[in-house]
């Protein structure tokens, strides 16, 4: 397991333990939509992009960092999709799959 997938697992855990129980369904839907829109502009899961906390006010109170990373937002997005019943692998599994495809 590489450092990126370990970080994604930590973000997934953070979302499940600290964020998800404190968000309404509507807040999760709004958050997922904004993360999706951000990922259309740049592939957030493959870069070191940073996003201001103000861009995602629903989850900002649960962060001890000054900015969100793209990887953190990707982990949040995939966990929201899983909660909604969308069949998707975890962000860390998707990351490893993407890395292996790109290396071929």
Report yes or no on 62 lying in a domain: yes
H-assigned helices in the chain: 3-14, 25-41, 70-83, 91-102
pLDDT per residue as tens digits for the range 46-81: 668 899 999 999 999 999 989 999 989 989 999 999
Which of left, alpha, beta for 85 (phi over 0: left; psi -120 to 50: alpha)? Answer: left
Report yes or no on 87 lying in a domain: yes
Q: Which of 90, 85, 20, 86 is nearest to 58 (CA)?
A: 20
Beta bridge partners, 52, equal: 67
Domain carrying residue 73: 23-96
Report yes or no on 66 lying in a domain: yes
Q: How many domains does the chain have?
A: 1
Report yes or no on 32 lying in a domain: yes
Report yes or no on 13 lying in a domain: no
Q: Does pTM surpass 0.95?
A: no
Report yes or no on 10 lying in a domain: no
Q: Give Cα separations from 55 to 6, 50, 63, 100 (angstroms).
A: 25, 11, 13, 31
Report yes or no on 11 lying in a domain: no
């Amino acid at each position: 397991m590489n450092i990126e997938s370990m970080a994604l697992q930590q973000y997934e855990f953070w979302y499940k333990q600290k964020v998800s129980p404190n968000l309404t369904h509507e807040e999760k839907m709004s958050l997922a939509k904004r993360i999706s829109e951000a990922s259309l502009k740049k592939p957030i899961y493959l870069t070191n992009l940073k996003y201001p906390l103000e861009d995602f006010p629903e989850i900002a109170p649960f962060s001890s960092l000054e900015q969100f990373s793209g990887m953190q937002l990707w982990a949040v997005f995939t966990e929201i999709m899983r909660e909604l019943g969308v069949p998707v692998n975890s962000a860390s599994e998707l990351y490893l799959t993407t890395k292996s495809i790109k290396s071929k």
